[in-house]
Amino acid sequence: MNLQQGITHKGLNLLLKLEPNIPKDLRATGRRMTRTRQAVLALLQRTRQPVSANEIFDQLQEEKVAIDLVTVYRTMHVLKELGMVLQLDLHQEGLSRYELKEGREHHHHIRCQICGLIVDLLLCPLKKVTKLIEQQTQFIVDDHTLEFTGLCPQCQ
């Protein structure tokens, strides 16, 4: 399936199966749905793994979608602002990854140290711990990050 085909110069492309309200979300804040934003969103949709800016850039290059790496960064910034994308800064990766929010709740990740596979962890075990920490430190806890690393089933 050729991605280029799917991109029209105007409006929403059905082949890409983008959430229909995404262009409206963009325009509601004075922004525009461009072909590059469509291409990035479509890539995020069909990629289950969180992807880095460079991976988005490389993948779109392969698919003959003309886009600059700077534009990828700026696109991710916008999508983050609109709450459509989550930015992950996994430990010791030294780069950011992004995943479509798509109604995902607060969750954490585990990454395989060998192949890099990243899997969502649907549980968050820290609700009670947070209260305990607030008591012990007198901080007001706003947020937390939690990641696990290990070996995935394939790499063991």
Q: State the minimum distance, in angstroms, from the CB of residue 64 to DNA.
A: 12
Q: Which does 120 bind (CB under 5 to 8 A by kind): Zn ion, DNA, Mn ion, none?
A: Mn ion
12 neighbors 18 (Cβ within 8 angstroms):
yes
82 neighbors 29 (Cβ within 8 angstroms):
yes
Is residue 120 at the binding interface for Mn ion, with CB under 5 A as the rule?
A: yes
Token pair in block for residue 90 = 């996994």
Is residue 21 at the binding interface for DNA, with CB under 7 A as the rule?
A: no
Is residue 10 at the binding interface for DNA, with CB under 7 A as the rule?
A: yes
Token pair in block for residue 38 = 């469509």
Closest CA to 110 of 91, 135, 127, 94: 91
| Binding residues vs DNA (CB under 7 A) | 9-11, 23, 26-27, 30-37, 52-54, 66-71, 73-75, 77-78, 94-96
| Binding residues vs Mn ion (CB under 5 A) | 120
